[in-house]
Amino acid sequence: MTSRPLRTVTVLAAAAAAALCGTASTAHATPAGHGAQEADRRTPRIVTAWAGAWNGSDPRALGALFTADGTYTDEAVAVTFRGRKEISGWKARADSLIDNVRVTVRTTRVDGDRVTVRAVYSGHLKGAPQPFAVPMTTVLDLDRNHCRITSDKDHYSLAAVLSQSGLPADWTPPAG
């Protein structure tokens, strides 16, 4: 009985990802001080969709932005996920560990099929005394049409996340 709504959400996420094909912005930067409307015009649509997927509640929306064999690497915790299902699972795991997980894009730089994103990664680790907000740089490699992500590499300081959260440097998330 739940397969129909799940299929509908998956189809909608795939349609949204497909709508990005051929529509990446040619602008190269979004100055941090500029308004949201200007940022939307200057930030490639795939980046806007990527941040929206992180800020949303459906893990499959993130996975749908990747090629079937795409990879997602979180350098801070030294993990790599391959394929849409694993990438969606990574987002689901993050949502289970972090309340109000959010990616706020500050600037983007496009160089061919590569987009460098400077952002703020924020949230509240469940059970931690306080929230965190740390700078993050993400490198997105895109397919030749710029409509799907082939590789994502996130770079941020795990030590800063733990310190701001009020957790010890050797804290590890609960198994799950």
Instruction: CATH number of the domain at 79, please.
Output: 3.10.450.50
Number of domains composing the chain: 1
Give percent of the chain above pLDDT 90: 71
Q: Which position has the higher pLDDT, 117 or 43? A: 117
Q: What is the pLDDT of residue 36?
A: 37
Q: What is the pLDDT of residue 43?
A: 84
Q: Among residues 39, 41, 43, 40, which one has the least CA distance to residue 28?
A: 43
108 part of a folded domain? yes
176 part of a folded domain? no
172 part of a folded domain? no
Contact present, 58 and 9 (Cβ < 8 Å): yes
pLDDT digits (tens, 9 = 90+) for 23-73: 433 333 333 333 333 344 568 999 999 999 999 999 999 999 999 999 999
Average pLDDT of the chain is 83
132 part of a folded domain? yes
Range of the domain at 90: 3-165
Residue 161 Cα distances to 87, 122, 167, 175, angstroms? 21, 9, 9, 19
173 part of a folded domain? no
9 part of a folded domain? yes
| Lowest model confidence (mean pLDDT) among 59-73, 104-118, 161-175 | 161-175
Q: What is the pLDDT of residue 173?
A: 84
